[in-house]
Amino acid sequence: MSLPIAHAAHTLTTIAYFLPVVAFLAWLFVTQIRERRRSRG
């Protein structure tokens, strides 16, 4: 039973490391879409 929990903890830690990248890329995409819409409007 401890093995899946250990795996889950490891996966969560890995996700935590890459969260800033995902957040930054998401912000970048949203900003770019907004700018495109603004330039069309």
Give me the residues that bind another protein (CB under 8 A), please: 10, 13-14, 16-21, 24-25, 28, 31-32
Smallest distance from the beta carbon of 25 to another protein, in angstroms? Answer: 6
Cα(31)–Cα(36) distance, rounded to whole angstroms? 9
Smallest distance from the beta carbon of 28 to another protein, in angstroms? Answer: 6
Smallest distance from the beta carbon of 1 to another protein, in angstroms? Answer: 18
Distances (CA, A) of 11 to 16, 21, 33, 35: 9, 16, 31, 35
**Tokens encoding 38:** 């603004």
For another protein, the closer of residues 5 and 21 by Cβ is 21
